[in-house]
Structure 1
Amino acid sequence: MKLEEYIKDKGSIELIKKAEGLARNFFEREGTHGFSHVKRVFNLCLHIGEAEGADLEVLALAALLHDVARPLEDKGIVEDHAKESAKIARRFLTSLKYPKVDEVVHAIEAHRFSRPPEPKTLEAKILSDADKLDAIGAIGVARVFMYSGEHGRDIETSIKHFEEKILKLKDLMYTKTAKKLAEERHKFVEEFIERLLKEIEGEL
């Protein structure tokens, strides 16, 4: 669905498109955490947010801006991209006199499942869920091997990453909608790894 099918207010749509334009400028190249990841998280947020009755404007802004500092973290310029992304979002939205800056900033600060703070609002929980969902399923499999290619990891190391992180994400979802989506994606990953292990052993 297009943005206009979720959000009807023209002012909100214009603001969200401004945020998208800002976010795009931070990503010099694609990869496991490129702008395509941001757009998938954005789409998931709108889908989950509509089902869960969230503030879609806050959610859309948080989704688009949640990883803007990720390239800076990858380069070692900042330590925590979530905190830095939240700072960038605050400056941007404050300059536009946006009234719900704190809600957007909290969602961005709390989107990483492995670091505090815990998400307190529905919008923050949905952003965290959407970010985790993009690491599961067919997309999740593709991203793991993209990352492995970027960092010279072999297949066995990739499988270990699935076991240590990816297969645990299903149980970390907050919302009912995300839990349902995670079940299906998790099953796909389990079946993929099972077949991959068999093929490594020459069984198929």
Structure 2
Amino acid sequence: MELAQWQHRFESWLHENHTTDDAAHDISHFRRVWMTAQKIMARQAVDPLVILTACYFHDIVSLPKNHPERSQSSFLAARETREILQRDFPDFPPERYAAVEHAIEAHSFSAGMTPQSLEAQIVQDADRLEALGAIGLARVFAVSGSLGVALFDARDPFADSRELNDKAFALDHFQTKLLHLPVTMQTDMGRELARHNADFLILFLAKLSAELKGDCLGLDSEVQHRFRRSLSE
């Protein structure tokens, strides 16, 4: 069966069985991760069916960011995916179960697992790229809003004189996680794309800083330089 047919079947199953209010982990997210994964895996000796399947089911279980067992989401998703494949896709090749499970387990930032296969590396990179660029920017504030987190600390927005706390301030998440993602990328293409999209986030931070200082037209070059330097550290 061709990949396009598997993708169609997976999307049909998700439309019928996977409902969520979490816009960061809906079918559109799965589809975007797969599109990005195809760019990363181009001309590489990989199993595309493993990557496709992991992209579409990696967040089939996704506990909220404030859930005490959040770090277990990817392990639960991997187990659930095997059950789904065995039950609802009996023609899925069973010899690929283990590779799909590992790619799903290893994709999560909070799980802290190092991917052991190229397929898992590609899925992890593709998923992490969703946290950068324009989509990543939108997701930060959408998720923070759903959790009742403030946009930023008006007295010290960039945490110059306080501890970072992204559970209290959405803007802190850029420094606690997002701007560190490029160095965690597993593939050369993933790192290239991550640096490009992280630079977009830095432009946003520089624009925000300028506006907070009353400059609606410029960019804060000091903030821009500060965070660009952090990308190379």
Please confirm whether the aligned pair reaches a TM-score higher than 0.5, indicating the same fold. Answer: yes
Higher relative contact order (CA 8 A, sep 6+): 1
Q: Give the match for residue 101 of structure 1.
A: 97
Aligned to 1:66: 58
Q: Contact 2:133 / 2:197 at 8 angstroms: preserved in 1?
A: yes
Q: Distance in 2 between matches of 1:77 and 1:68?
A: 18
Q: Which residue of 1 aligns with 2:144?
A: 148
* CA distance in structure 1 between the aligned counterparts of 2:7 and 2:80, rounded to whole angstroms: 15
Q: List gaps (5 residues or longer) in structure 2.
A: 153-168, 217-233
What is the CA–CA distance in structure 2 between the aligned matches of 1:27 and 1:126, rounded to whole Å?
26
Flag the 1:51–1:198 CA change in 2: closer, same or farther, 3 A. farther
* Partner of residue 8, structure 2: 17
Deviation per CA, 1:6-49, whole angstroms, max 9, x where unpaired? xxx53x43333322333342233342222222221121112212
Tell which deviates more after alignment, 192-201 or 30-39. 30-39
Distance 2:40 2:196 in 1: 15
Match of 1:110 among 106, 109, 113: 106
| AA at the equivalent of 2:185 | M
Structure showing greater Rg = 2
Secondary structure class of the residue paired with 2:149: coil
Following superposition, the deviation at residue 81 of structure 1 comes to: 1.8
> Secondary structure at the residue paired with 1:54?
coil
Matched, 1:34 2:26: yes
Identify if the C-alpha distance between structure 1 residues 183 and 77 changes in structure 2 by more than 3 Å, giving closer, same or farther.
closer
Normalised to the residue count of structure 2, the TM-score between the two structures is 0.75
Matches within 5 A, 1:1-204: 9-10=1-2, 12-24=3-15, 25-70=17-62, 73-74=63-64, 80-95=72-87, 96-97=90-91, 98=93, 99-156=95-152, 157-204=169-216
Q: 1:51, 1:177 within 8 Å by CA — same for their partners in 2?
A: no
Q: What is the rounded CA distance, in whole Å, between the counterparts of 1:187 and 1:181 in structure 2?
A: 10
The structure in which a higher percent of residues are helix is 1
CA distance in 1 between partners of 2:134 and 2:36 (Å): 15
Tell me how far 1:78 sits from its aligned partner: 6.8
Give the partner amino acid of 1:167: L
Residues 107 and 123, structure 2, Cα contact 8 Å, conserved in 1: yes
Structure 2: distance between partners of 1:85 and 1:125 = 17
5+ residue gaps in structure 1? 1-8
| Two-structure CA RMSD over aligned residues (Å) | 2.1
Alpha-carbon deviation of 1:87? 0.9
Deviation per residue, 1:102-144 (Å, 9 max, x gap): 1111100111123243210001001111111000011111111
Q: CA deviation at 1:57?
A: 1.2
- 1:48-70 CA deviation, whole Å, 9 max, x = no partner? 12244422111001100000111
**TM-score of the pair, normalised by structure 1:** 0.85
